[in-house]
Amino acid sequence: MLTKTVDVSEAQTHLKELLSLVLEGTEIVLTKDSTPVARFVPVASPTTMRVAGLHSGAIWTSDDFDEPLPEGFWTGDT
């Protein structure tokens, strides 16, 4: 990934152009007085679709999951 460093004041006047670069895969590092303060990177899209029920049975919940916790849990008494 290419990286371009831009001062904040320049970024304010060239935001559309910088966003175009980001969409092409360039990382933009914003600086203020030569100090990096933020970066623009493209948002990663999921590469595959999620499939409901793919790992059916891999996770279980106990029957008392919704029951109130015992008082000792809150007070530290066991």
Alpha-carbon gap, residue 8 to 32, rounded angstroms: 6
Where are the domains positioned within the chain? Answer: 1-42
Please name the amino acid found at residue 46.
P
User: Which tens digits make up the pLDDT trace of 7-65?
Assistant: 999 999 999 999 999 999 899 999 999 999 999 998 887 788 888 888 888 988 999 99
User: What pLDDT is attached to residue 40?
Assistant: 93
Rounded CA separation 46/23 (Å): 16
The top-level CATH class assigned to 1-42 is alpha beta
pTM of the predicted structure, to 2 decimals: 0.56
